[in-house]
Structure 1
Amino acid sequence: MTRPPLAAVPSGPVVVPAAVRALAGDDVVTPVWRNELGGVTFRLDGADGTRFAKWVPAGTPEIDLPGEAERLAWVGARAPVPRVLAQGSDDDGTWLVTRAVPGRSAVEPRWVADPVTAAVAIGRGLRALHDALPVASCPFTWAVEDRVTNAHARLARGSGPHEWFPEHRSLPVAEATSRLDDPPAVDRLVVCHGDACVPNTLLHDDGAFAAHVDLGSLGVADRWADLAVAAWSTEWNYGPGYDGHVYAGYGVDPDRERIAYYRLLWDLS
């Protein structure tokens, strides 16, 4: 795969929004992550510990920070996720402040240098999340039908193969949409993370799973909606050949049909 990660640690100067400055007070503000839509996550280090402030510019409907706050509150103590401290918005953007949780992102150099350990832990962490959260009482969905509708809407607005991952660029649009309209049967419904990529898994220094972050799309769906993309993301961050370790850590054999479908759905939606 030749496409670079869609988000990364900022490599140049970052303007700190006024709202984040106000939230930080006397804390030291460090930009730690920039997403592909212009949102930035800042670490706030102060006498009372470490917080993280996620900020997205106004007019970015793809990132729903109020919705993420609701999802984190619902997860609560059922799984290791950040605790919400504040959430708000102004004319410039929207923010979400959370308490730091133990662990370091699986995309940090320590784990890029040990991708097998990290990939196994990513799989184990995803299995732990899926086993811990109750489907029956989850008020959120990540349904295929909604995501396919979104994919069709994006295509109607001019999205196309030039924006897709290399694996899918040779597909005619009509064939790609036909495949999306014919999803495989559900294997197992779980409460999915919704963005279970490498950077959103935190690991302890011994290589054990620690926590998940960035749960703004959390909702009920087939477990392969998470698994397919979690394993795929190891290629973007570690290089090829580590996806199997994610499946092994989860405790499941690769399901090629569902993997292909959910990767295409991710790409187009």
Structure 2
Amino acid sequence: MIPTFSQGPIEVPRIVTEFAAGRPALPVWRNGVGGLTFQIGEGASRQFLKWTPTGSGIDLPAEVVRLRWAAAHTVVPEVLDEGSDESGAWIVTSGLPGRTAVDDRWKRDPATAVRAIGAGLRALHDRLPLDECPFDWSAGRRLAAVRARAAAGRIDPADWDESLRPLGTVQRALDVLADPPPVDRLVVCHGDACAPNTLVGDDGTCVGHVDLGALGLADRWADLAIATWSTEWNYGPGWEGALLDAYGVEPDPERTRYYRLLWDLSD
């Protein structure tokens, strides 16, 4: 057990102990389905092991394929190893310079963090080549998955963000999602552009991205709607405009509302 983890005690998966082989293993992230990420080792040689339990619904092999594809065009972690057993699956990646945009240093300086997130997302969208991308994250594909979840009774309006609850029912939400706005600009989206997935260097600029398991072709607002939303979760209200300024785009309330609803009803 590691009793000092900020989100409470955790059970260290066997693979973490085996891979660390005596090196320090520091838990740095836990997601909502029990997945854990550990920093193995320290300094420039540190590595990261992401583990997710069996049945979590997270497809780590899909992330491996996307990371390897994106690495030819932008800065993402290098995949060093992957595997699975009866308890779960894991991938091991190289460390990158910088700190997550929700590190305490950047939470004390949200103006710098938000600029880095916006500029970094714009650079990602500009660098990843549309005509070479084999991955789909379009509204249509995601809506099909949402409908399947709804049919299985896996969507509860009580779990929605407060801003979305006036829709009232799952059917009303599905009706809204059935009419997506026209694509503003098709790009290769990150797929989880929340603040923690941007790495910020000591100079305050974006130095890379992590957690690209959903990367794929979509309207850029599929990323921007969530990136701006996450500034509220991580830094408080009032930072959305700064992120959009750093990205270089005017606000788009219609697309923002649509993609936030799609996000909240997805996995």
| Normalised TM-score (structure 1) | 0.94
Separation of aligned partners in 1, 2:6 and 2:140: 35
Q: Secondary structure at the match of 1:264?
A: helix
% identical aligned pairs:
55
Q: 1:47 to 1:208 in 2, by over 3 A?
A: closer
2:36 to 31, 34, 40: 40
Other-structure match for 1:180: 177
Distance change in 2, residues 1:160/1:48 (3 Å): closer
The one-letter code sitting in structure 2 at the alignment partner of 1:15 is E
Instruction: Quickly say closer, same or farther: Cα 1:33–1:178, change in 2 above 3 A.
Output: same
Amino acid at match of 1:226: D
Residue equivalent to 1:55: 51
Structure 1 residue 77: Cα displacement: 3.3
Picking from 98, 102, 105, the partner of 1:103 is 98
Mapped to 1, the partners of 2:128 and 2:254 lie a distance apart of 25
Letter in 1 for 2:13: P
CA deviation after TM superposition for structure 1 residue 21, in Å? 1.2
In structure 1, the residue corresponding to 2:193 is in which secondary structure? Answer: coil
Deviation (angstroms), 1:78: 1.1
Specify the code of the residue in structure 2 equivalent to 1:100: G
Q: Where do 1:1-269 residues align within 5 Å?
A: 10-45=6-41, 49-61=45-57, 63-158=58-153, 159-173=155-169, 174-269=171-266
Whether the 8 Å contact between 1:41 and 1:53 is mirrored in structure 2 is yes
What is the identity, as a one-letter code, of the residue corresponding to 1:23?
F
Separation of aligned partners in 2, 1:56 and 1:91? 11
- Deviation at residue 156 of structure 1 after TM alignment: 2.1
Residue identity opposite 2:138 in structure 1: A
Cα distance in 1 for partners of 2:192, 2:63 equals 12
Residue-by-residue CA offset, 1:58-113 (whole Å, 9 max, x unaligned): 1112x111110100100123111000000110000000100000110000111111
Assess if the C-alpha contact under 8 Å between 2:71 and 2:78 holds in 1.
Answer: yes
Distance 2:19 2:179 in 1: 47
Per-residue CA deviation, residues 130-177 of structure 1 (Å, 9 max, x unaligned), is 000001110111011121111112222221211110011121223211
Counterpart amino acid of 2:141?
D
The gaps in structure 2 that reach 5 residues or longer are: none
Q: Cα–Cα, structure 1 residues 172 and 11, in superposed 2: closer, same or farther, change >3 Å?
A: closer
- How many Å separate the matches in 2 of 1:224 and 1:210? 22
Structure 2: distance between partners of 1:27 and 1:139: 37
Q: How many residues align?
A: 260
**In the alignment, is the contact (CA less than 8 A) between 1:10 and 1:33 conserved in 2?**
no
Distance 1:209 1:46 in 2: 21
Question: Contact conserved, 1:10 with 1:34, CA < 8 A, in 2?
Answer: no
Q: Tell me the CA shift for residue 231 of structure 1.
A: 0.6
SS of the residue aligned with 1:136?
A: helix
Give the 3-state SS of the residue equivalent to 2:96 in structure 1: coil
For residue 228 of structure 1, give the secondary structure of its aligned residue in structure 2.
helix
TM normalised by structure 2 equals 0.94
